[in-house]
Amino acid sequence: MAKPRTRTQRNAVERDDSHWLPQRSTSLTRIAKECPPVVYAFRTRDGLIKIGHTKDIAQRAGSLGGGLRSLLALKPGTYADEQEIHRSLKGRAARGREYYPADDPAVLAVVNEMRAAMGFEPI
């Protein structure tokens, strides 16, 4: 295997999940273009954090329309993984079942765990 070039790739090698990382990833947006089914966290324009699952992150972002401000985190995952996160955050949703307050410590912990696994700083 070639020597990892980015911090994200080095972290992936340590966890042995580099198979899904692109060879030249420098941002979440670039990673999102080449990844498998994921659990994601988006910040919405109204300041909430949306946590969900998709097989196509680019298509999902488009389907959510102009309500998104930024992609905060993502990780390979299944619908069951997403449901486990929602169960762990039960009663904390600000709207529906997938939109959470951005200042909730439990929500931030979930997002920051996903970011740390990819080598990104906490929010």
Phi, psi of 29 (to 5 degrees): -60, -45
pLDDT tens-digit readout, 53-77: 998 877 887 787 777 788 899 899 9
Residue ranges per domain, the chain? 36-117
Cα torsion 76, 36, 92, 114 to 10°: value is 40
* Count of other CB atoms within 10 angstroms of residue 86: 17
Tell me what percent of the residues of the chain surpass a pLDDT of 70. Answer: 72
